[in-house]
Amino acid sequence: MQVVIATSNPGKYRELASGLAPLGWELRPLPDFGVELPEETGTTFEDNALMKAATVAQKTRLPALADDSGLVVDALGGEPGIYSARYGGRTNDRDRNVYLLERLRGVPPEQRTARFVAVLALAYPDGHVESYRGEVEGVILEAPRGEGGFGYDPLF
């Protein structure tokens, strides 16, 4: 089955392609189709993933898989949430991590609970859509740690 990966982020495409390899799908990158993703105007991870997948499936006439994901910090009322990639107006991972640590300054370790949420949405050209949600619980560290990863990985 051919499936369009509804992302313009090459890193996210590689990550999804690696994880989906065992399914044997023929994965197609979005840039092959000249289709632009809709603006993420949803209020939940599900809203945004479903909107992207449905738009791409409709425009390409192929099944489309989209994701929306982010970090949810309890002490911050769920921030950064759906705004994780553009949190605080910061434009790179390092600056977003610094901003997050600033927002959590003075919050004791036992109150720095958080979860990483990822939603995958699979939409078909006939309008059928499915979504899948996964969460990983953790805490936000007081300083970055480790050498690998991206995004909020050094803090989570």
3-state secondary structure 9-39: CHHHHHHHHHHHHHHCCEEEEHHHHCCCCCC
Pairing status of strand 64-73 against strand 2-5? parallel
In this structure, are residues 34 and 49 in contact, taking their beta carbons and an 8 Å threshold? no
Catalytic residue (choose from 32, 47, 67, 68): 68
Closest CA to 68 of 86, 45, 85, 91: 45
68 is catalytic: yes
47 C-beta neighbours (distance < 10 Å), count: 17
Question: How far does CA 132 lie from the centroid of its chain?
Answer: 13
For residue 82 the two structure tokens come to: 């759906």
Catalytic residues: 68
